[in-house]
Amino acid sequence: MASKTPTGRASKGSVSVILSNGRLQLRFHFARKRYYISTGYPDTPHHRKLAKLKASEIEKDILFERFDPKDLGKYKSEFDNRHITPSSTPSVSQPTLPQLWEKYTDFKRLSLSPSTLAKDYTKIARCVELQLPSKSLNDAIAIRDWLVANKTANSAKRIVTQLAACCQWALKSQMISHNPFKGMASEIKIPACQSDSSDINPFTLEERDKIIQTFKNNNSYNYYAALIEFLFMSGCRPSEAIALQWKHISEDFRTIKFEQAVVEAEEGLVCKKGLKTQKKRSFPANKKLAALLESIKPKDATGETKVFPSPKDKWIDVHNLTTRVWRSVLKELEDIIEYRKLYQTRHTFITAALETPIPTADGRTKMLDAKDVAKLVGTSPKMIYEHYAGASKELFVPEF
């Protein structure tokens, strides 16, 4: 760990990992004094790696002039606090990060949507348990540095934010004495290339029509052709489309009521009331979309019948649809159409709605306002203006 000078000694500010009495120890000089910190770790590859992470943390503190020799306890792991704890004071075992995250998840369970629990919280639990270099709260800086080095900035920032929230809850619950992740997320900067808007890459209308036709012509996947066409023509989220039942479609097929979504929960796919950003919304189908709905409605359909059921009459799993069907069809078209995610059907609709002129009764044309498009697809005008309206139109200087 420690770098060497030509004399063979450790360079100024470097921290050595040495073995003393069968335990790994950190040794370094600061302000002409020598310091030893016992980690309490036995000499194993895993514990030596943790000791090196701790040594790196001390070196950074010395380099940035934030090292405090009176606060050596901050570098200690929960495995052994005896060397810094007065003999009259009993050592208190500190909960590990996985233990805190599990308790925090249980606390939040009733207030979170099933999909948030199944996806976001489960992913973080897996990361905390299996990926992080340490499970100790005392290694918060090393954990942050590992996340920044091994995850995208967006992902690292989200995880650190959640860990800080978890520890803040644990602090208020008197499980820990301080929040080691407090303020860390604000130090992680998101590059412009990783912003959410960079994922918006709509298909052209020609590409849209080619994809729909390919689905119809493919005997293996034409079962899903109507769903794909519906997604392109409504701009709804896939989770909203697969949750539709015929009771949500008016008798003349001209009005669609989105008021529920199929999401992934801990127990599997579930249909929940409400949408991502609103309770419900009404969508006015044009003639082409109304004709599509009319053509696929079974004669014996009831209000509870699914509009887009799976082949086994269950809710469609969007993840499976993407990996097994969408990817296969786009693979057929890779020579002429760049692969994009299924969610780009929504981006395609929004972009086309903003850019396509609408004929008026007096022979002129008009464009849909961003606020109207936002209402159609269930998002905010701010989102439309920031990520679609500004980027979709070519800038030019008019003659004046």
pLDDT exceeds 70 at position 193: no
Residue 321: inside a domain: yes
pLDDT exceeds 60 at position 23: yes
Residue 80: inside a domain: yes
What share of the chain has pLDDT > 90, as a percent?
44
User: Which of residues 42 and 303 earns the better pLDDT score?
Assistant: 303
Which of 138, 165, 194 lies at the terminal end of a domain, its last residue?
A: 194
pLDDT exceeds 80 at position 371: yes
User: Do 219 and 162 reside in the same domain of the chain?
Assistant: no
- pLDDT at position 11 is 57
Residue 199: inside a domain: no
User: Do 187 and 159 reside in the same domain of the chain?
Assistant: yes
User: Do 297 and 339 reside in the same domain of the chain?
Assistant: yes
User: Do 226 and 372 reside in the same domain of the chain?
Assistant: yes
User: Do 334 and 376 reside in the same domain of the chain?
Assistant: yes
Amino acid at 281: R
The CATH number of whichever domain residue 124 belongs to comes to 1.10.150
Residue 217: inside a domain: yes
Residue 256: which domain range?
205-386
User: Do 214 and 185 reside in the same domain of the chain?
Assistant: no
Span 180-207, mean pLDDT? 78
Span 162-189, mean pLDDT? 90
Residue 245: inside a domain: yes
User: Which of residues 365 and 174 earns the better pLDDT score?
Assistant: 174
Mean pLDDT of the chain, nearest integer: 84
Residue 243: inside a domain: yes
User: Do 230 and 373 reside in the same domain of the chain?
Assistant: yes
Tally of structural domains, the chain: 3
User: Do 271 and 306 reside in the same domain of the chain?
Assistant: yes
Residue 151: inside a domain: yes
The CATH number of whichever domain residue 276 belongs to comes to 1.10.443.10
pLDDT exceeds 60 at position 92: no
Which of 194, 214, 238 lies at the terminal end of a domain, its last residue?
A: 194
Residue 234: inside a domain: yes
Query: pLDDT category, 269, cuts 50, 70, 90?
Result: confident
Which of 70, 91, 112 lies at the terminal end of a domain, its last residue?
A: 91
Q: Write a three-state SS string for the chain.
A: CCCECCCCCECCCCCEEEEECCEEEEEEEECCEEEEEEEEEECCHHHHHHHHHHHHHHHHHHHCCCCCHHHHHHHCCCCCCCCCCCCCCCCCCCCCHHHHHHHHHHHHHHHCCHHHHHHHHHHHHHHHHHHCCCCCHHHHHHHHHHHHHHCCHHHHHHHHHHHHHHHHHHHHCCCCCCCCCCCCHHHCCCCHHHCHHHHCCCCCHHHHHHHHHHHHHCCCCHHHHHHHHHHHHHCCCHHHHCCCEHHHECCCCCEEEECEEEEEECCEEEEEECCCCCCCEEEECCHHHHHHHHHHCCCCCCCCCECCCCCCCCCCCHHHHHHHHHHHHHHHCCCCCCCCCCCHHHHHHHHHHHHCCEECCCCCEECCCHHHHHHHHCCCHHHHHHHHHHHHCCCCCCCC
What is the phi/psi pair of residue 19, to 5°? -110, 125
User: Do 233 and 346 reside in the same domain of the chain?
Assistant: yes
User: Do 355 and 315 reside in the same domain of the chain?
Assistant: yes
User: Do 228 and 130 reside in the same domain of the chain?
Assistant: no
Q: How many CB atoms lie within 10 A of CB 232?
A: 21
User: Do 227 and 366 reside in the same domain of the chain?
Assistant: yes
pLDDT tens-digit readout, 43-52: 888 778 888 8
pLDDT tens-digit readout, 316-335: 999 899 999 999 999 999 99
- pLDDT at position 14 is 85
247-275 per-residue burial string, b: 16 or more CB within 10 A, e: under 16: ebbeeebeebebbbbbbbbeeebbeeeeb
